Amino acid sequence: MSIISLIIKREFIAKVRNKSFIVMTFLSPLLFVGIAAFVGYLSSMKADTKRIAIHDESGLFVKEFTSKNDVKSEYKYLDLSLIDLKFLKDSIANESYQGLLYIPKANSTKDFENKIQFISNNSPSISFIENIQDIVASKLTKTNLVNAHLDTLAIKNAESKVNISLTKASGEESVKGLNEIKIGIGGAFGYLIMMFIIIYGNMVMRSVIEEKTSRIVEIIISSVKPFQLMMGKIIGTALAGLLQFFIWAIIGLSLMFAASVFFGINVGPTARISPELMQAAQQEMTGTAQMYIKELWNLPIASILIGFVIYFIGGYFLYSSFYAAIGAAVDNQTDSQQFLLPIIMPLMLSVYVGFFTVINDPHGTIAVIFSMIPLTSPIVMLMRIPFGVPLWQIAISVTLLFGTFFSVVWFAAKIYRVGILMYGKKPTWNELYRWLKY
Amino acid sequence: MSNILEVNKVVKQYGDYVALNEVSLTVPKGSIYGLLGPNGAGKTSLIRIINQITLPDSGEIILDGEKLQPKHVQYIGYLPEERGLYNTMKVGEQCLYLAQMKGLSKAEAKKQLEYWFDRLEIQGWWNKKIQELSKGMAQKIQFVVCVLHKPKLLIFDEPFSGFDPVNATIIKDEILALREEGATIIFSTHRMESVEELCDHIALIHKSNKLIEGKLDDVKRQFKANSFEVGILSDNVEGLMYAITQKFTVGPANFKSLNNELKLEIQLGNATPNELLNILTQRGQVTHFVEKIPSVNDIFIQTVTQ
C-alpha cells in the first residue's frame, strides 16, 4: 500500500471511530427532523378565533365585516352597534372580545378617513389593521362611486388582471417561480459546500494540532514527506465527511418520509368543494406540477452536478490546506482564531453575495466577478449555474480556482513543514511569511 | 565501505541564524556514536537533516555509500527527543501503522511487533490506548516503533529520559544487543555517564560548529594532561615535597583509599612516568599511581567553556 493511502486510511478510521463523529452522524438528522416536525406541528395548530366588536354609528360598514365571518377565519366580527359605547369600552378589559372597532357618524365619506378607531388592550398585528383599512377604504370608494352616479358594475367589469407568461427564446413555455427553484438548488449546493468546508476544514486543523501537541509528528515525518501527510489528512477527513453526509442524506430522507406519513400532511383539496370543481382543480394542479417537473428536467442538471463536484473538490482542498497550515502554525485551538478570520470572511461573503446579488441579477457584474474570484467562486458560481452560465466563464473560474488551489497548497505545505516542528510559541504573520523562505 | 554515514560540510540556516556551519562527521559502521553538545548547539538540526525531515542548505550526506535519498528512511530508526504517540489510538494498530510507513508489509510488521512485545514483556498492551499507559510504558512502545523495521542506523535523541533505572537498563541492553546484530547507533544526550559507558566514538558540536570528533580513546588521549594521581606513605614528607616540586607541578588530589597516605596530583610535563616513579620510590612507599584520564564530562566542559 502506498504511504499516502496508508495515511488516508488512518485519518479516515480515526475520524469515523471518534465518538463525537458517531453521535453527530446519528443525532443531527434526528435533531433536524425533530425541529422541522415541531415547527410543522406548531404551525398546523389552529389559532383561537379572536372576537372583534364593531360599533358602527354610521351603519355603513358593519355588513362589510360581518359578511366576512366564516368558520375558518381567524377573526369573528360582532355587530354591537346598538350597545352603549362606554359599556363596550369597559368590557374590553373583561376580555369578552379582543378589540373594538369604533366607527362614528360622519357627514361625508371624506370625514371617515381619519375618524375610525380601533380600541384594544394589546396592539393588534399590522396585517390585521391593514385588512380593516382595506375593507373600509373599498366600501368608501364604492360609496363615492355611487354618489358620483357612476356605474359600479361597469367599473368592475373594466378592471383587468394581467398574468404574463414567461417563455424562453427556444420556444418552451416556462413557469413562474422557477427562479426561486433555481436559486434554491444553487443555494443548497453552495451552502452545502460552505458547511462542509467549515466543519471538515476545522477537523483537519484539529487533527494537525493533535499530532503536533502529542509530538508524534516528528516520528511520522521521519518516514513521510510533510506534504504527503498533509494531503493524506485532507483527503482522509474529506472521505469521512462524505460518509457522514451520505448517512445524513439517507437518514434524513427516510425520516422525512416517515414524518410526512405520520403527520398525514394533506395535499389534496378540501372536501367541501364539489366533485366537478375538485376534478378541475386537480387537473389544473397536475398540469402545473407537470410543467414544473418538465422545467426541472430542462435545468442544466448535468452541469449543475459536474459543477458541484468540481467546485466542491476545488473549494474544499483550497480551504482545508489553509486550515492545515493554520493548525501547523499554532499550538492549540485558541491561538488559531486570529488566523481563522480571514478564512471565514470570504466564505460568509460568498453566501451573502449568492443570496442577495445572484437572486436579483444572476449575470450582473458583481455576480460574475465573485464567481471568478477563487475564494468565493465555489459557492457563487454554483448558485449561478442553474441560470445558465456561458462556458467560457466557467472555464476561467475553474482555471483560476485550481491555479490558486495548487499555489495555496504549495504555500500551505511550506508553512506546514516548518510549523509542525515549532513548539511552544504562537507565530506572528511576519514569522509565517519568513517560514515560506526556509 | 566502513562508514555507515558521512556528513560533508552541511550548512543549515534559519533566516539569519546559522544552525549548522559546515559540519562534517564520519560515523563508522557498528559504532555507538555519541553526538554531544550543549542545548541549542545544532544537534537536533543535524539529526533532522539526516532523517530527511529538513533539507540542508548546502553540503551532502552519504548513507552507506549512497547519497541520501527518500528510500533511505527505511534504513534509519529515529527516536526523537520530542516524542509522543496518538493518544486515542490502540497500541497495536499504532505500531502497525508506523511500521508500514517505514516500508514493512503488514504481516512482517505484525511478526516483528509480536517478537518485540514478547521480548520486552509487554504482550498485554496490544489493545490498550496510549492514554491508558504511563509515560515510561509509552516510551517503551516508542522504542519498539523505532527499531521494528531493523534499521541499519539508529538515532536516539535522549533515549533514557523518562525511564526508571530498571527500564533504562533494559533499553541500554537492547541498544547493545542491536549493535551486536550489526546496527550502528547515533546517540545524542546530555548524560555524560551514559556516553562514557556506551559510546566508542564521539563528536562535540558547539555553537553550530563541530569542535571534536573521533574515537573516544583518541579524544581522551588528546585531552589528557600527562598528569598522575599519586598516593605515598613517607616518613619525610617535607623532603619528598621538595624533591618533586623541583621538577613537577604538584597539587592536592582526592581519591578513595584505606591508608592515611599523602595524596597528590602531579603534572609530568615532558617527563616520563618512570622519572617520577624513581623519585617517589626512593622516598617512600607508593600505594597509588594512576594516570589521570579526562572524563567525557571534563572534555565537554573544557571545550564548551573555552
Q: Closest approach of chain A CAs to the CA of B156, in angstroms?
A: 12
A6 at the B interface (CB within 8 A)? yes
Q: Closest approach of chain B CAs to the CA of A8, in angstroms?
A: 11
| Domains parsed from chain B with CATH numbers | 3-221 (3.40.50.300), 225-295 (3.30.70)
Take residue B171 and report the three cell numbers written for it.
Answer: 533499553
Nearest to B57 by CA among B5, B7, B20: B20
Q: Are the Cβ atoms of B89 and A14 closer than 8 angstroms? A: yes
Render pLDDT for A20-79 as a digit per residue (tens, 0 to 9): 888 888 888 778 778 878 888 887 776 667 788 888 888 778 888 888 777 667 788 888
Of the candidates A10, A214, A221, the beta carbon closest to that of B84 is on A214
In three-state form (DSSP H/G/I as H, E/B as E, the rest C), the secondary structure along chain A is CCHHHHHHHHHHHHHHHCHHHHHHHHHHHHHHHHHHHHHHHHHHCCCCCEEEEEEECCCCCHHHHHCCCCCCCCEEEEECCCCCHHHHHHHHHCCCCCEEEEECCCCCHHHHCCCCEEEECCCCCHHHHHHHHHHHHHHHHHHHHHHCCCCHHHHHHHCCCCCCCCECCCCCECCCCHHHHHHHHHHHHHHHHHHHHHHHHHHHHHHHHHHHHCCCHHHHHCCCCHHHHHHHHHHHHHHHHHHHHHHHHHHHHHHHHHHHHHHCCCCCCCCCCCHHHHHHHHHHHHHHHHHHHHHHHHCCHHHHHHHHHHHHHHHHHHHHHHHHHHHHHCCCHHHHHHHHHHHHHHHHHHHHHHHHHHHHCCCCHHHHHHCCCCCCHHHHHHHHHHHCCCHHHHHHHHHHHHHHHHHHHHHHHHHHHHHCCCCCCCCCHHHHHHHCCC
A425 at the B interface (CB within 8 A)? no
The phi, psi pair for A107, rounded to 5°, reads -80, -40
Q: Which residues of B touch A210 (CB under 8 A)?
A: 86-87
Take residue B8 and report the three cell numbers written for it.
Answer: 560533508
CB pairs below 8 Å between A and B: how many? 64
Q: Which segments in chain A show pLDDT lower than 70?
A: 1, 46-48, 71-72, 95, 165-178, 259-260, 262-299, 423-426, 437-438
Mutate which: B101, B106, B129, B141, vs A, most A CBs within 10 A: B101
Mutate which: B53, B87, B127, B142, vs A, most A CBs within 10 A: B53
Q: Are the Cβ atoms of A223 and B70 closer than 8 angstroms? A: no
Q: Are the Cβ atoms of B101 and A224 closer than 8 angstroms? A: yes
Of the candidates A1, A210, A434, the beta carbon closest to that of B100 is on A1
| Pairwise CA distance, residues A386 & A184, whole Å | 9
Angstrom distances, CA of residue B55 to CA of A366, A379, B11, B151: 46, 39, 10, 21
Contact indicator for B113, B92 with CB cutoff of 8 Å: yes
Q: Are the Cβ atoms of B86 and A423 closer than 8 angstroms? A: no
Q: Are the Cβ atoms of A438 and B100 closer than 8 angstroms? A: no
B263 at the A interface (CB within 8 A)? no
pLDDT tens, position by position, for chain B (306 residues)?
Answer: 588 889 999 998 887 788 888 889 999 998 999 998 888 888 888 998 998 888 888 889 998 888 888 888 889 999 988 778 888 888 989 899 999 988 888 899 999 999 998 888 888 888 888 888 888 888 888 899 999 888 999 999 888 887 888 888 888 899 999 999 989 999 898 888 888 888 899 998 888 888 888 888 888 888 887 888 888 888 888 888 888 888 888 888 888 877 778 888 888 878 888 888 888 888 888 888 888 888 888 888 888 887
| Domains parsed from chain A with CATH numbers | 50-158 (3.40.190.10), 176-264+271-435 (no CATH)
Cα B46 versus chain centre, distance: 15
B145 at the A interface (CB within 8 A)? yes
Q: Which residues of B touch A434 (CB under 8 A)?
A: 15
Q: Closest approach of chain A CAs to the CA of B198, in angstroms?
A: 24
Q: Which residue of B has its CA nearest to A434?
A: B15
Strand ordering across the sheet containing A99-103: A75-79, A50-56, A99-103, A117-120
Q: Which residues of A touch B48 (CB under 8 A)?
A: 421
Long-range contact set of residues A212-215: C-beta below 8 Å, sequence gap at least 24? A212/A327, A212/A328, A212/A331, A212/A419, A212/A420, A212/A423, A213/A331, A213/A332, A214/B84, A214/B85, A214/B86, A214/B87, A215/B80, A215/B82, A215/B83, A215/B84
